[in-house]
Amino acid sequence: MKKENNGMQMQKADGYEDIIHLPHHVSERRPHMPLAERAAQFLPFAALSGYDDVIRETARYTGKKIQLDESAKAVLDQKLGILSQQITEHPQICVTYFLPDEKKEGGSYVTAEGIVQKIDGFSGTIFLEDGRKIPVGDILDFFYF
């Protein structure tokens, strides 16, 4: 259908003149879908389930273990010797050590505070009274008070 407007010809673009004024169809067999369910059918589909978790895990930062030089190892050995002599007094220590990551290469440095229960020279482990085990080879530094 063509209309004239100010001397120019315009064509009606919709083409629904025959049905535009009819009432909206309501099904007699199916109930009306709630608005929340209608919206849910347009949510994005996750074709690769778990992919977001893998990306998040890959992006998670893990640090590298610091390798101590010989002088730092000697100082640490002296401190451990003094600590083992005072083990009967159950000294309280604050230790910074490397904690390996359980899921990927690397880890992070953590600081723990606790009372020393025993030092096992054979396995190279410091046992704290709260049950934590700290490998001597992973210790960066510690002090006791």
Tell me what pLDDT residue 13 has.
52
Q: Which residues of 84-121 are buried (b: 16+ CB within 10 A; e: fewer)?
A: eeeeeeeeebebebbeeeeeeeebeeeebebebeebee
Supply the pTM of this predicted model: 0.62
Of 115, 66, 78, 81, whose CA–CA distance to 95 is shortest? Answer: 115
Tell me what pLDDT residue 8 has.
45
Give 45-102 pLDDT, tens digit per residue.
777 788 888 888 888 888 999 999 999 999 999 999 999 999 999 999 999 999 999 8
Q: How many CB atoms lie within 10 A of CB 55?
A: 11
DSSP 105: S
Computed over every residue of the chain, the mean pLDDT equals: 86
Tell me what pLDDT residue 111 has.
95
Asked if residue 135 has pLDDT above 70, the reply is yes
Tell me what pLDDT residue 59 has.
85
Query: Which phi and psi angles does 140 have, rounded to 5°?
Result: -90, -45
